[in-house]
Amino acid sequence: MNGKVEIKNATPGDAPSVAEIGRLTFYETWRPVNTEEDMQLYLESSFNEKQMLAEITDQSANTFLLAVLGDEPIGYVKMRRDRTYDEFKNEKSIEIERIYVKKKFQDQKIGKLLMDHCIELAKSENSVWIWLGVNNENVKAIEFYKKYGFEIFGTKKFILGTAVDEDFLMKLNIENV
């Protein structure tokens, strides 16, 4: 990788790039274990440009951090402030809903760079917890989160088209980082 990766807040003008990265990375990761029909249903509902624009624009609920190399958007993270679990006993929490990096840039520490920015954002907002859901078969991601100190605290269902998958819920106490 030549050049420096910049992490910036996504703007409404970045919605097409965010949607493209989301569709591409989700498809590459999950197509081998899902039907094409289920994939298309999920991709259209979750990664269309109109949906991305609405989510990026709702800055009270969401923050999108975009990883850019030169002029090329190569990954992003979506953080949410509008969901929580009883597990956090009303302590302030923030969710990492998505952390996606284009396949050709994986294993180049882009995910680490994005995660480090997530932790800094959570600290700057005085969150006590960062939490996320991760497919229980995504061993690579689970190990990545465990390296940061995330621990499993439950499970949830994830609907992908007509399929129902199971995700682990993982949490990290920011005060320990």
* pLDDT value, residue 107: 87
* pLDDT value, residue 117: 97
* pLDDT value, residue 177: 84
Q: Tell me yes or no: is domain 5-131 CATH 2.40.50.140.
A: no
- Each residue's pLDDT tens digit, 12-50: 999 999 999 999 999 998 988 899 999 999 999 999 999
State the catalytic residue, choosing from 27, 42, 145, 148: 145
Q: Which of 21, 26, 105 is nearest to 56 (CA)?
A: 21
With contact defined as beta carbons under 8 Å apart, do 156 and 135 qualify?
no
* pLDDT value, residue 168: 98
* pLDDT value, residue 171: 98
Strands (E), 102-150: 129-135
* pLDDT value, residue 176: 79
* pLDDT value, residue 3: 80
Give catalytic status of residue 85 as yes or no.
no
* pLDDT value, residue 1: 57
Average pLDDT of adjacent 10-residue blocks, the chain of 177 residues: 87 97 94 92 93 96 97 97 93 97 93 97 97 94 96 95 93 91
Domain ranges of the chain: 5-131
Cα 17 to Cα 76: distance, rounded to the nearest angstrom: 10
Q: Tell me the whole-structure pTM to 2 decimals.
A: 0.93
Cα 82 to Cα 93: distance, rounded to the nearest angstrom: 9
